[in-house]
């Protein structure tokens, strides 16, 4: 029997809970003496629940549920701890995240010197010729925020091609060896939707490649073997379980379905996955007869991810007005926006085939363009429940906020980015334009569906960090104790809903998960603190104690 030890908490019996029970066979698991926030509006609070065959079969009071315990029932005494539906991360890069767990760690490198030394030390552990990738560096951590160059790392990586990504995935640094392998030199032409950054005095590439230009070098990196993908997927699912994440929507998962299914067959998959394919590949899915949400309770397909622009940190997010710190540019439309009309045609045709389209848009102009394209596609094709999504929806003009609800476009957002980017975003676009940044409250007020995720491995997978960011809007540098653009703060309840109900809705799964109610999949997490009661600044210090997926304990943390 599993031993679960908790610090003693609230345990007073509260009367008045109405039991709801299904007929699903013998009860296999009972959790009692919990503080359950079901997020089900008809019965928002409960003390105990029962599970049979991977689904909730009863939810009610301690007395009611404990009567259902049989000789083979596993029981967990939650000792008053908070229990909520399992978190559903609406935007991850699952295998990339798992792979990054064993790659060079550069995200918190505070100086160029530290950046260089970490790469040097990592290279020493690798056989000659091995590529160094990943990294997730952030030059905004460094004094004056200079971009790194190949000269910074060439002499410590003479035998290793290097292509390491900025944390947003829209800019990377290549060393000279990698540039040579990619055929990138002073005569190379910028591809549509991309930029080769060059030394202003001599015109030589600095090693920085942005957006579409990244493929010049990335295309030379040997693909992962099936075994390497298996290892990355296993690391990712274990990491998710430890954080209370029971479902993810994998924006890079279209080609990884065989790996995920193999992990499931081996009994090692602990995360339900909606595997999203690249939008330009919509015909491949349509030819296989796949439509939105096709699959089973564990692995589903039918989603397509496109790109309208780049990122704010890489100055490639596409805006109506130029950047404050670089007035020469408005950012870059994605290569998928070329030639003119290509994105609309692709969205229209994929939607007509019954697939779900979700498009990355950061800048206000990119968001405006995608809302217009979605509106046109909806008018062209037959009426249906299509659930178009904009991934990030980061910088919005006020008129466009109302369009999300009007057009039934889901705002799939990652609140941790607010805490991160808020340190320097106004340097890019100024204070006034920043007022429409991460407009959580305004979108909800307008009636839009808000789905929360992390963008892992761009940001940490931990949903509690995202909830804290949405509730406090405090930035990582501590310079906004009352919140950056505090008008856009939302409540804990709203943030948790966005990470559960909203994200389930975003993947056509609200009838299967997102709330704790009879008949739904038994995915839930017990937390170390009641985030609905503690000070908002304490939310980020909360952690998962027990994670259950399909009625099975997949993670347990001992409390001493």
CATH architecture classification, 1-85+515-560 = Roll (2.30)
pLDDT score of 491 = 98
pLDDT, tens digit, 9 for 90 and up, residues 59-98: 999 999 999 999 999 999 999 999 999 999 999 999 999 9
Neighbours of 362 (CB within 10 A): 30
Opening angle at CA 479, ends 475 and 485, nearest 5: 60
- Spatial neighbors of 117 by CB under 8 A, at least 6 apart, are none
- List Cβ<8 Å contacts ≥24 apart for 125-131: 126/160, 128/159, 128/160, 129/159, 129/160, 129/161, 130/160, 131/160, 131/161, 131/162, 131/163, 131/178, 131/221, 131/222
Query: Greater confidence, 134 or 49?
Result: 49
Whether residue 480 is predicted with pLDDT greater than 90 in this model: the reply is yes
DSSP 451-474: EE---TTSS---HHHHHHHHHH--
Whether residue 374 is predicted with pLDDT greater than 80 in this model: the reply is yes
Tell me the percentage of the chain whose pLDDT exceeds 70.
95
Q: Distance between CA 450 and CA 90 in Å, rounded?
A: 10
Output the six-digit token pair for 312: 């704010």
- Spatial neighbors of 202 by CB under 8 A, at least 6 apart, are 186
CA 105, 429, 485, 452: dihedral to nearest 10 degrees? -50
pLDDT, tens digit, 9 for 90 and up, residues 209-254: 999 999 999 999 998 899 999 999 999 999 999 999 999 999 999 9
Tracing tokens 């298996």 back to the chain, one arrives at 230
Q: Distance between CA 161 and CA 356 in Å, rounded?
A: 38
Whether residue 14 is predicted with pLDDT greater than 60 in this model: the reply is no
Query: Greater confidence, 24 or 368?
Result: 368
Q: Which of 213-227, 257-271, 273-287 is the least confident region?
A: 213-227
Output the six-digit token pair for 508: 């056509």
Output the six-digit token pair for 20: 């709801």
Closest C-alpha to 494, from 525, 529, 469: 469
CB 355 within 8 A of CB 287: no
Instruction: Please report, for the chain, the start and end positions of each structural domain, with discontinuous segments joined by +.
Output: 1-85+515-560, 97-218
**pTM greater than 0.85:** yes
Q: Would you tell me which CATH number, out of the four given (3.40.109.10, 3.90.580.10, 3.10.310.70, 1.10.1740.10), belongs to the domain 97-218?
A: 3.10.310.70
């Amino acid at each position: 029997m599993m031993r679960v030890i908790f610090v003693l908490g609230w345990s007073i019996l509260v009367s008045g809970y109405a039991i709801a029970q299904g007929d699903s066979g013998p009860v296999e698991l009972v959790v009692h003496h919990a503080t359950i926030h079901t997020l089900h509006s008809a019965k928002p609070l409960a003390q105990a629940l029962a599970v049979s065959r991977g689904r909730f079969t009863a939810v009610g009071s301690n007395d009611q549920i404990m009567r259902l315990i049989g000789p083979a029932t596993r029981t967990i005494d939650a000792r008053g701890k908070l229990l909520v539906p399992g978190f559903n991360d609406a935007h991850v890069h699952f295998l990339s995240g798992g792979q990054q767990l064993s790659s060079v760690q550069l995200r918190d490198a505070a100086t160029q010197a530290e950046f260089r030394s970490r790469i040097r030390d990592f290279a020493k552990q690798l056989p000659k010729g091995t590529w160094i990738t990943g990294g997730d560096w952030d030059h905004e951590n460094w004094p004056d925020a200079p971009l790194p160059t190949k000269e910074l790392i060439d002499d410590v990586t003479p035998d290793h091609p290097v292509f390491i990504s900025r944390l947003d995935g829209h800019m990377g640094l290549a060393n000279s060896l990698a540039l040579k392998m990619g055929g990138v030199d002073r005569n190379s032409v910028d591809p549509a939707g991309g930029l080769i950054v060059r030394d202003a005095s001599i015109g030589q590439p600095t090693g920085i490649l942005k957006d579409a230009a990244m493929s010049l070098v990335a295309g030379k990196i040997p693909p992962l073997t099936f075994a390497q993908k298996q290892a990355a997927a296993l690391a990712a699912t274990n990491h998710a379980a430890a954080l209370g994440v029971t479902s993810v929507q994998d924006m890079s998962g279209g080609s990884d379905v065989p790996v995920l299914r193999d992990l499931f067959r081996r009994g090692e998959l602990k995360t339900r996955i909606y595997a999203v394919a690249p939008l330009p590949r919509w015909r491949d899915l349509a030819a296989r007869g796949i439509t939105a949400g096709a699959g089973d309770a564990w692995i589903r397909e039918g989603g397509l991810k496109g790109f309208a622009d780049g990122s704010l940190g890489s100055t490639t997010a596409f805006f109506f007005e130029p950047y404050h710190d670089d007035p020469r540019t408005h950012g870059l439309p994605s290569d998928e926006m070329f030639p003119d009309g290509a994105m609309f045609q692709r969205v229209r045709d994929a939607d007509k085939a019954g697939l779900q389209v979700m498009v990355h848009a950061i800048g206000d102009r990119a968001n405006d363009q995608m809302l217009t394209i979605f509106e046109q596609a909806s008018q062209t094709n037959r009426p249906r429940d299509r659930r178009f999504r904009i991934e990030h929806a980061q910088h919005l003009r006020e008129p466009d906020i109302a369009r999300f609800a009007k057009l039934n476009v889901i705002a799939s957002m990652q609140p941790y980015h607010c805490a991160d980017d808020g340190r320097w975003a106004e340097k890019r676009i100024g204070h006034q334009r920043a007022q429409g940044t991460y407009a959580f409250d305004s979108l909800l007020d307008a009636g839009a569906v808000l789905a929360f995720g992390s963008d892992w491995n761009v940001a940490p997978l931990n949903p509690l960090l995202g909830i804290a960011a949405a509730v406090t809007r405090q930035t990582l540098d501590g310079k906004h104790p009352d919140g950056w653009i505090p008008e856009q703060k939302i409540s804990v309840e709203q943030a948790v809903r966005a990470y559960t109900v909203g994200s389930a809705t975003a993947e056509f799964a609200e009838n299967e998960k997102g709330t704790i109610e009879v008949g739904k999949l038994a995915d839930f997490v017990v937390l170390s603190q009641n985030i609905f009661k503690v000070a908002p600044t304490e939310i980020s210090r909360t952690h998962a104690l027990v994670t259950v997926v399909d009625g099975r304990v997949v993670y347990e943390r001992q409390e001493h």
